């Protein structure tokens, strides 16, 4: 009988310990862990609009302008998360960089702004040469069905001493978040 009682006590202890360990390991009290287990069945769709108004599309024609050494050209663009249930974090990458002006002499800054061009996030600044590696634009992320406007500042180094030109495109990638 004693053995049987000990066996029962072991079962109680073992089951209790296992249940406790199991619930603790998977974070029963961690609401973040639980809430993160969300399935996304939709399709990712990111679109762009060149300017503060206008239609969105998968691709937008860039701008053509002149620039003096030491001067900054400012342009506003908008990105739209056209997905139904997928939130995006945004990364930008310079592509097709060409021209006689060295990419190291050009600085590009993206600042997330609201509709009144007031910053709503931190600017991300680096030289054009470094933008050829995808770089996150930080918060705010773009929630499903929402738009986000960005101010794009292009500054030419004052050390440039010869006339020339430079051309680049930007590829914006929205990646599911979280």
Partner 1 sequence: MKKIIEIFLIIIVILFGTAFSLISNRIGGWRGFTVMSGSMEPSITTGSMVIVKNVNPQLLKKGDVITFKRPSKENEFITHRILALSNKKDLSILKTKGDHNKEIDPWVLAGGGVVGKVIYSIPYLGYLLVFAKTKIGITFFILIPAFIIIYLEVINIFNLLKNRKNNVSYASQTQSLTILLFISLLSYSAFQPANALLSDSASLTANKFTVALQEHPAQCGDDSNIEISGNGAGSNNAVSVNSNCSTIINESNNTTITNAVNSNSSTGNNQVINNTGSNSTITTGNVNSNISIQNK
H or E segment and range at residue 119: none
Smallest distance from partner 1 to CB 127, Å: 14
Considering only residues 118 through 157, tell me which ones interact with partner 1, judged by CB under 8 A: 134, 154, 156
Token pair, residue 131, equals 């933008």
Smallest distance from partner 1 to CB 42, Å: 7
The reply to whether 53 sits near partner 1 by the rule CB under 8 A is no
CA distances from 109 to 74, 152, 173 (A): 9, 6, 17
DSSP 4-18: HHHHHHHHHHHHHHH
In whole angstroms, what is the distance from residue 87 CA to residue 21 CA?
33
Nearest residue (CB) to partner 1, 50 versus 111:
50
Smallest distance from partner 1 to CB 36, Å: 7
Smallest distance from partner 1 to CB 38, Å: 7
Considering only residues 61 through 120, tell me which ones interact with partner 1, judged by CB under 8 A: 61-69, 73, 77, 79, 83, 86, 88, 91, 93, 95-96, 99, 101, 106
In whole angstroms, what is the distance from residue 119 CA to residue 106 CA?
22
Considering only residues 11 through 50, tell me which ones interact with partner 1, judged by CB under 8 A: 11-19, 21-26, 28, 33-34, 36-48, 50
Token pair, residue 160, equals 């440039």
Contact assessment for residue 94 and residue 169, using Cβ atoms and an 8 Å cutoff: yes
Contact assessment for residue 123 and residue 107, using Cβ atoms and an 8 Å cutoff: no
The reply to whether 159 sits near partner 1 by the rule CB under 8 A is no
Nearest residue (CB) to partner 1, 65 versus 116:
65
By rule CB under 8 A, what count of residues binds partner 1? 86
The reply to whether 52 sits near partner 1 by the rule CB under 8 A is no
Smallest distance from partner 1 to CB 126, Å: 15
Smallest distance from partner 1 to CB 171, Å: 5
CA distance from start to end of the chain: 56
Of 90, 79, 87, 80, the closest CA to residue 42 belongs to 87
């Amino acid at each position: 009988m004693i053995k049987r009682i000990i066996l029962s006590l072991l079962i109680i202890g073992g089951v209790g310990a296992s249940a406790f360990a199991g619930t603790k390991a998977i974070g029963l009290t961690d609401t973040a862990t639980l809430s993160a287990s969300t399935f996304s069945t939709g399709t990712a769709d990111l679109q762009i609009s060149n300017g503060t108004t206008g239609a969105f599309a998968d691709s937008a024609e860039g701008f053509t302008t002149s620039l003096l050494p030491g001067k900054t050209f400012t342009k506003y663009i908008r990105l739209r998360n056209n997905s139904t249930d997928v939130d995006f974090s945004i990364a930008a990458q310079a592509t097709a960089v060409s021209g006689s002006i060295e990419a190291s002499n050009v600085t590009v800054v993206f600042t997330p702004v609201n509709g009144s061009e007031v910053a709503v996030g931190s600017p991300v600044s680096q030289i054009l040469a470094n933008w050829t590696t995808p770089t996150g634009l930080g918060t705010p992320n773009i929630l499903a069905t929402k738009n986000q406007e960005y101010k794009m500042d292009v500054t030419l180094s004052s050390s440039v001493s010869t006339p020339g030109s430079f051309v680049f495109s930007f590829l914006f990638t929205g990646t599911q978040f979280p």
